[in-house]
Amino acid sequence: MNKKEKTHSLSQERAPIYEALEQFKKKRIVPFDVPGHKRGRGNPELTAFLGEQCVSLDVNSMKPLDNLCHPTSVIKEAESLAAQAFGAAQAFFMVNGTTSAVQGMVLTACKKGDKIILPRNVHRSVINALVLCGAEPVYVNPEIDKRLGISLGMSIKQVEKAILENPDAKAILVNNPTYYGICSDLRSIVKLAHKHHMLVLVDEAHGTHLSFEKSLPVSAMEAGADMSSVSMHKSGGSLTQSSFLLMGPSVNAGYARQIINLSQTTSGSYLLLSSLDLSRRNLALHGEQIFRKVIELAEYVRSEINKIGDYYAFSKELVNGDSIFDFDVTKLSVHTLDIGLAGIEVYDLLRDEYDIQIEFGDIGNILAYVSVGDRKRDVERLISALAEIRRRYRRDKSGLITQEYIDPEVLTTPQYAFYAEKESLPLREAAGRVCSEFVMCYPPGIPILAPGERITEEIIDYIEYAKEKGCSMTGPEDHNIERLNVIINYALE
């Protein structure tokens, strides 16, 4: 069960949406509503591919199945159970991905002109929300681990400095944990923010499991955060694109629902909703056992990789009590530069030569996502492949870029820059100008450039290097990323 004690009339053994769908199937209702495939009969090829059981449950909102935009029965019950499982006052089912949950948090907390304190190494969904609402970011640029080239968590001193310099800020947003497993001192940040009457929003996309195993870092809700976005599909077992938005007691849940309904679909997929319902039940009943096994598996793989030589699968030894307050040991992050290969090059070799698909590779590291679905023989195959890659492809590491993160120079708000008059310039000619679009490697989806930031020669070098190494680059209007959109007539000092 969750770390917090729960008292609620609903039982975690229930799965209200799943149960309602089971009852719906038994009634053999003749459909004269959407979707038009009519339980799969209208698209036999799709039905054969996905299976009749799946397609027959791709149904529309109706009274027995409730309505995601205004839940009053089974979805409402399922949301109450989710809130109970995660120690939250309110939970919202999100079927537009964690992107919509993150945007829901920011748009609930901030309006046009409001300030929000946040680290710059946020997912693009955060800055997208600033484009939409017109809030002004106050960046706390994270410290960098120079050996690994990765950005760390939020230092308490940096957060306090940002608060004192911006006492009118409405909220603080924290990545916890980061893609690499780095955790900030969330309890202290919450205490500090609340002292200054600011909300705390947590992008907990990679921390679903933190609520269910006591040896793991503290979860957002347990730390007293006001809102958190949780990717159930990442480590919680639900279908891709399904997530939770969790709320603490100080947030107006009715207003948050209105904000969510501005952008979330009115045709919520019952495949996604039922996957959230069943996955929540599984974690509530068996989460501690599940994630204890995941921890043991991840620790075993980490140990074996470190025995290979040159690779560095890092863990809790990085903890410094501040910018690395804790570490999520389920994250199998591996530094690769000492074998003379960028992380993205190892990523490509694993996929192309060994039929192993890991989560991502960047300039200096790879991340293999370890979960309840992994088997011992699968991780042994990964270990063997990494050993063979070192043997076959190891080379001198000179000339490799080591740093993943470059501090940006922010000149105007993301909203102004995104909607301003713009022109397209060749990449090199854009140096010194103000960018009006995003540039990022995906995954992890953290912008190298965001709207409103100065384009520097260092950033251009990084973009060209990432392209050369094979990183999947996204964001700009120019698909080949040979040109960038910049603001016209922006007065630079």
pLDDT digits (tens, 9 = 90+) for 319-368: 999 999 999 999 999 999 999 999 999 999 999 999 999 999 999 999 99
CATH code 3.40.640.10 region(s) in the chain: 66-285
Mean pLDDT calculated for residue range 57-80: 96
174, exposed or middle or buried, with CB in 10 Å at 0-12, 13-18, 19+? buried
- pLDDT exceeding 70 applies to what percent of the chain? 97
Q: How far apart are CA 38 and CA 218, in angstroms?
A: 45
Q: What is the pLDDT of residue 8?
A: 43
CATH architecture of 414-487: Alpha-Beta Complex (3.90)
CATH code 3.90.1150.10 region(s) in the chain: 287-393
CATH code 3.90.105.10 region(s) in the chain: 414-487
Please state which of the four CATH numbers 3.90.1150.10, 3.40.50.620, 3.40.50.2300, 3.40.640.10 is assigned to the domain occupying 66-285.
3.40.640.10
CATH architecture of 287-393: Alpha-Beta Complex (3.90)
Mean pLDDT calculated for residue range 40-66: 94
Q: Over 70: is that where the pLDDT of 230 sits?
A: yes
b/e string for 35-52 if b means 16 or more Cβ within 10 A? Answer: bebebbeeeeeebeeeee
Of 357, 377, 375, 376, whose CA–CA distance to 367 is shortest? Answer: 357
Report whether 253 contacts 90 (CB < 8 A). Answer: yes
Q: pLDDT digit string (tens) for 108-131?
A: 999 999 999 999 889 999 999 999
Tokens linked to 4:
């917090």
Contacts 24+ apart (CB under 8 A), 311-315: 311/335, 311/336, 311/338, 311/339, 311/386, 311/390, 312/148, 312/338, 314/148, 314/180, 315/181
* Predicted TM-score (pTM) of this structure: 0.93
Mean pLDDT calculated for residue range 80-96: 98
Q: pLDDT digit string (tens) for 301-322?
A: 999 999 999 999 999 999 999 9
DSSP string covering 390-448: HHHH----TT----------B-S-HHHHHHS-EEEEEGGGGTTSBB-S-EEETTT--EE
Q: What is the mean pLDDT of the chain?
A: 94
User: Pairing mode, if any, of strands 312-313 and 326-327?
Assistant: unpaired
Q: What is the pLDDT of residue 372?
A: 82
Report whether 237 contacts 282 (CB < 8 A). Answer: yes
Q: How far apart are CA 348 and CA 337, in angstroms?
A: 15
Q: How far apart are CA 489 and CA 223, in angstroms?
A: 46
The pLDDT confidence band at residue 492, using thresholds 50, 70 and 90, is low
Tokens linked to 412:
């105007």
